[in-house]
Amino acid sequence: MKNKPILIVAGEPNSVFFEIFIKSIKLKKFKTPLILIASEKLLKLQMKYLNLNKRIKNIKVDELNKYKLNNKKINLINIDYKINRPFEKISSKSNKYIENSFEVAFDIIKNGNSNKLINGPISKSTFLNKKYLGITEYICSKFSIKENAMLIFNKKLAVCPLTTHVPIKLVSNKINKRLIFEKVSLINNFYKKNIGKIPKIGVLGLNPHCESTLKRNEDDAILRPSIKNLKNLKYKISGPYAADTLFLKQNRKKFDVIIGMYHDQVLTPLKTLFEYDAINVTLGLPFIRISPDHGPNEKMMGKNISNPLSLIRAIEFMDKN
């Protein structure tokens, strides 16, 4: 295939993913072929329940290079999953199904037949079972990637947490100069390669107002010297800034990316600003991996009112890059 397809792992079967996927491909036309990796039985059950219809074209993995694919039908690689109802409660029952779906996608990528992966929402607590901090780390481990970053991307502003899914009390011990250099370098390379620009990066402090009454202040001991060194290396970076004011309109418009010290420090304001208009990009992999910037949303299952915008943005990004 000249135009390598976008692989889409459906993820958690008990989620809103099939709903937003069908809505996405009905609302938008994409040039790059999409290959859905999921259970055909489950897809048909949920489409019938939601009254969302789309014809299916079954794809065999070992014959992938023989197909001339388009998106007139759902190109589907079937993954066996025993189910009789369209929706159930999220449980460990789906773990093997999700793992098998990922393994098929990883094999296709390793064989050189695709370099683009989107995965649907996954219940981290159920699927990862405390073995990995998040899906970012899970996927990176499968490709022996140690240096990675989670970038929540919107073309107006993106954010990157220095630490991901770690308890707040552990954050200060995780912050170090090496980690800051790693994230900044990955962000810079991503923007140069995929956006065509050198990003302006702002760094948030850890402590309120970047001050501390304790003897050791991470903002002075780690962040300021790290930022100074990165400036000397010609990165467009500044900070640390107080987290309570940097997301104000007049301040945030000065930056392409804001790096925070922990997950909610940057994801909360970004989701408040853009809601579903953002995507989760994993930096550091030898291919592009994106997921919609939301979870399975179990409470919305079967209601047919979920917003597909984040998935649309994920596919659009892949389609253009």
- For the stretch 63-93, pLDDT in tens is 898 889 999 999 999 999 999 899 999 999 9
Residue 295 has pLDDT above 70, yes or no: yes
pTM score of the predicted model: 0.93
Residue position matching structure tokens 């899914």: 165
Q: What is the DSSP string of 209-240?
A: GG--SSS--HIIIIIHHHHHHHHHTT--EEEE
The answer to whether residues 231 and 184 touch, using CB atoms and an 8 Å cutoff, is no
Q: Which phi and psi (to 5°) does residue 258 adopt? A: -120, 125
Q: Distance of alpha carbon 169 from its chain centroid, rounded?
A: 25
The proportion of the chain whose per-residue pLDDT surpasses 70, expressed as a percent, equals: 99
Q: Identify the bridge partners of residue 163 per DSSP, sorted by sequence position.
A: none
Q: What is the arithmetic mean of pLDDT over 279-304? A: 93
Q: How confident is the model at residue 20 (pLDDT cuts 50, 70, 90)?
A: very high
Provide the pLDDT for residue 216: 81
Q: How confident is the model at residue 214 (pLDDT cuts 50, 70, 90)?
A: confident
The proportion of the chain whose per-residue pLDDT surpasses 90, expressed as a percent, equals: 89
Q: What is the DSSP string of 174-206?
A: H--HHHHHHHHHHHHHHIIIIISSPPPEEEE-S
Query: Smallest Cα–Cα separation from 121: which of 134, 133, 103?
Result: 134
Region of poorest pLDDT, from 6-15, 41-50, 61-70: 61-70
Provide the pLDDT for residue 2: 61
pLDDT digits (tens, 9 = 90+) for 154-183: 999 999 999 999 999 999 999 999 999 999
Query: Smallest Cα–Cα separation from 29: which of 67, 71, 76?
Result: 71
Q: Read off the DSSP letter of residue 5.
A: P
Residue 215 has pLDDT above 90, yes or no: no
Residue 192 has pLDDT above 80, yes or no: yes
CA dist., res. 257 & res. 247, Å (int) = 11
CA dist., res. 178 & res. 96, Å (int) = 36
Provide the pLDDT for residue 1: 52
CA dist., res. 48 & res. 319, Å (int) = 28
Domains and CATH numbers, the chain: 1-145+285-321 (3.40.718.10), 148-278 (3.40.718.10)
In sequence order, what E strands does the chain have?
6-9, 34-38, 56-58, 74-78, 116-119, 149-153, 158-161, 201-204, 237-241, 257-260, 279-283, 288-292
The answer to whether residues 293 and 278 touch, using CB atoms and an 8 Å cutoff, is yes
The residues, any chain, with a CB within 8 Å of residue 195's CB and separated by 6 or more, are: none
Q: What is the arithmetic mean of pLDDT over 219-247? A: 97
Provide the pLDDT for residue 19: 96
Task: Convert 213-252 to b/e letters by CB count within 10 Å (16 or more is b).
Answer: eeeebbbeebbbebbeebeeeebbbebbbbbeebbeeeeb
